[in-house]
Amino acid sequence: MIKKQIVVGLLGFGNVGTGTYQALEMNREAIKEQSGLDISIGKILVRDPQKDRSISIPPGVLTDDAGSILNDPTIDIVVELLGGLHPAGELMLQAMNNGKHVVTANKAALAANFKALEKAAIDNGVQLRYEASVAGGIPILNAIRTALCSNQILEIKGILNGTTNYMLTQMTDHGLAYDDVLKTAQEKGFAEADPTDDVEGYDVANKLSILIALAFGTIVSPKDIPTKGISGITKEFIGEAKSRNNKIKLIATARNNGAGLEYRVEPEEIPFHHPLAGVNNEFNAIFIEGNAVGELMFYGRGAGPLPTGSAVLGDIIDIGKTIVPGRV
Ligand SMILES: NC(=O)c1ccc[n+]([C@@H]2O[C@H](COP(=O)([O-])OP(=O)(O)OC[C@H]3O[C@@H](n4cnc5c(N)ncnc54)[C@H](OP(=O)(O)O)[C@@H]3O)[C@@H](O)[C@H]2O)c1
């Protein structure tokens, strides 16, 4: 039996926005049955409401007016899926100041504004959730926040970028050159036309900054994380690593060494027998060590409309449950 309807305003209807919409369409009835929440998408902000879309949307739902979402008293949760720093950061703050819970997948805007966004959530008594911002469909942030909160986290090592992991896998498995692999990745849609954020490691630094905040309770700006990408990796480097029974992977590391926190993003040689060496192509994984639980590894799809939409929708449902405690 339904206790309350939850109305969501989406900011953005690109890859993740459509994935979130589709995940809700696929599972709406099951979600109602399991949580008692009837979730609907009330309005969707886009740049161009007239553009042809792969999904048909009821008339009047698409808008280019952010205010019509942020000031709509029927909207409970604002989901930011625009990408970039501006206006994403400002709109999230405004939504919380208007008393709305916020969910985002935008690691860049989140990492750049972490303190201000967390403060706005506390000041306004609303929730800020961002599971999809790190490793897409892998529920690593929830795991750290809930089941692993009984631990002191000793180390996190992650493969957090599918584009670069795809490229390094292709170079390793087929002896291909960096430029050739980048071109194929772009043709297959695994790499952006401007791949800088991915190949230079900036995207991973944003994600590591968020992981550090949750796992170690320390705010480290992405620009303060020593970051090296894969653009200098040649097929010769890969071949030399192989001769030592290692694979080169772009690794985000944060480690409590007893005296303090060490962190970096850089290509590392990982021994063939290490679980991270088996993480190939566009897949992501996070290897984590807690002082009570020991070593764990989380593996799955770090991007893509439905895996990322699954994480976004999970956050929406979790928030919805707190708006509507228990079932009728
Ligand atoms: N793609 C993934 O698999 C993935 C995975 C994890 C996290 N993320 C994160 O999720 C976020 C969204 O990524 P995406 O791949 O879905 O992006 P995208 O495909 O480029 O979609 C962006 C959407 O936002 C709208 N938009 C952008 N700027 C706007 C503005 N100023 N005003 C109004 N509408 C605006 C666009 O409108 P139009 O449709 O009219 O152009 C589009 O619908 C990013 O922060 C990304 O880092 C993505």
Q: What is the largest CA-CA distance in the chain?
A: 63
Residue 45 token pair: 């902000």
pLDDT tens string 162-221? 999 999 999 999 999 999 999 999 998 889 999 999 999 999 999 999 999 999 999 999
Strand ranges in 12-76 using DSSP code E only, listed in sequence order: 37-45, 62-63
- In this prediction, residues 306-328 reach a mean pLDDT of 85
Q: What are phi and psi of 311, to 5 degrees?
A: -70, -40
Spell 107-126 as b/e; 16+ CB within 10 A means b: bbbbbbbbeebeebbeebeb
CATH of segment(s) 141-301: 3.30.360.10
* DSSP character string of 186-213: HHTTSS-SS-HHHHTSHHHHHHHHHHHH
Catalytic residues: 207
324 pLDDT band (50/70/90 cuts)? low
Whether 327 shows a pLDDT value over 60: the answer reads no
Q: Whose CA is nearest to atom 42 of ligand 1?
A: 14
Whether 2 shows a pLDDT value over 70: the answer reads no
Burial class (CB in 10 A: 0-12, 13-18, 19+), 170: buried
Q: How far is the CA of 136 from the centre of ligand 1 (A)?
A: 14
* Ligand 1 mutation pick, 81, 103, 130, max ligand atoms within 8 A of CB: 81
Q: How far is the CA of 83 from the centre of ligand 1 (A)?
A: 5
Pick 84 or 326 by higher pLDDT: 84
Over pLDDT 70: what percentage of the chain?
98
Atom of ligand 1 nearest to the CA of 84: 45
Nearest Cα neighbor of 209 from 199, 196, 229, 224 is: 224
* Ligand 1 mutation pick, 13, 22, 44, 46, max ligand atoms within 8 A of CB: 46
Whether 325 shows a pLDDT value over 70: the answer reads no
Atom of ligand 1 nearest to the CA of 49: 40
Residues with CB under 6 A from ligand 1: 12-17, 45-48, 51, 81-83, 87, 105-107, 132, 136, 303-304, 308
pTM over 0.85: yes
Which pLDDT value is given to residue 328? 34
Name the residue ranges covered by the structural domains of the chain: 4-137+306-323, 141-301
CATH superfamily of 4-137+306-323: NAD(P)-binding Rossmann-like Domain (3.40.50.720)
Whether 3 shows a pLDDT value over 70: the answer reads no
Which pLDDT value is given to residue 189? 86
At residue 249's C-alpha, the angle toward residues 129 and 186, to 5°, is 75
pLDDT tens string 69-115? 999 999 999 999 999 999 999 999 999 999 999 999 999 999 999 99
C-alpha span between 253 and 156 (Å, rounded) = 6
